[in-house]
Amino acid sequence: MSDPMRPPVSHSRPQPESPRSESPRSESPRSEPARSRAALRTAVVWDVLQDALDRRVKATGRQALDVLDTGGGSGNFAVPVAGLGHRVTVVDPSPNALFALERRAAEAGVADRVRGVQGDAGGLFDVVERGGYDAVLCHGVLEYVDDPAEGVRNVVAALRAEGVLSLLAAGLGGAVLARALAGHFTEARQALADPDGRWGTGDPVPRRFTAEQLTGLVEAAGLRVGAVHGVRVFADLVPGGLVDTEPGAVDALLRLEAAAAELAAFHSVATQLHVLGETQGNEGARPPGGVRR
């Protein structure tokens, strides 16, 4: 079901903006401070993802890869990936998100490389082909599916014999830390004790994970874990006013996030966890230095 067109690769390095939004209103121009905070939330994942795609290009000898973005929303990652020259299929249950995706892709000049289809993880192969993609993005999806193990198996089944999975999900430790720092100690303890990592009935996130749980799901689905990163270790804890007004604060915090992301000690307090999975025998997707836990 991939678009057979093979456009030339762009050598620019597009950057995704904020975590996915389901409303077209989020597409309006934003202030520079808002963009800076968005970069803090996405930079680690984008760098890992772009490196993985670059390695797949070298391994396959194809300049344009076929990429599937499940739950891709309005294209915060899909559009920048298309900007690299790849063909991206976005599956999302929200018509509003897909409308925003179409508009964002057109504004970025990559409409011919981005295709949006309405669907969800449970019925993934009703709308996309099995085994048809070089890379699959599964960002912010596992928290909401009924069966995370089945969800991971489904997205892995969309990969070709050699491919990579970018899996991003909410981290348990980050939520516990955030509730505690806000003075909600009972809720923090509840999140620790709850099987799904929820801090109460008002918690908007149905499920959170530890790094061990996510890597276990990836390995159980038949992939090798290539790298694990903590995402938003500090960004959500630093006062916004400091980041917006202190000269050089954004760049310094970005460097700190990048340095901490690879250290296992900080995975336990990250707001999100990112796991890069690769098919067995897929040496082209292995990051330098091997597994980072």
Q: In this predicted model, which residue has the larger pLDDT, 22 or 104?
A: 104
Nearest 5°: the CA angle 266, 271, 275 is 70
For the segment 183-197, what is each residue's pLDDT rounded down to a tens digit? 999 999 999 999 999
- The confidence score (pLDDT) of residue 23 equals 31
Question: In the block, which residue shows the tokens 């310094």?
Answer: 252
Report residue 289 as tokens. Answer: 């230095």
| CATH no. of 24-171+209-285 | 3.40.50.150
Distance CA 240, CA 278 (A): 36
Residue 10 has pLDDT above 70, yes or no: no
DSSP 183: T
Amino acid at 67: V
- Which residues 6+ apart lie within 8 Å of 239 measured at CB? none
Distance CA 277, CA 141 (A): 16
The domain ranges of the chain are 24-171+209-285
Residue 231 has pLDDT above 90, yes or no: yes
pTM score, whole prediction: 0.83
What percentage of residues in the chain have a pLDDT greater than 90? 72
Per the CB < 8 A criterion, the answer to whether 257 and 235 are in contact is yes
Taking each helix axis as running N to C, give the angle between helix 148-157 and helix 211-220, from 0 to 180 degrees, rounded to the nearest 10: 50
For the segment 81-102, what is each residue's pLDDT rounded down to a tens digit? 999 999 999 999 999 999 999 9
3-state SS track over 99-130: HHHHHHHHHHCCHHHEEEEECCCCCHHHCCCC
Residue 27 has pLDDT above 50, yes or no: no
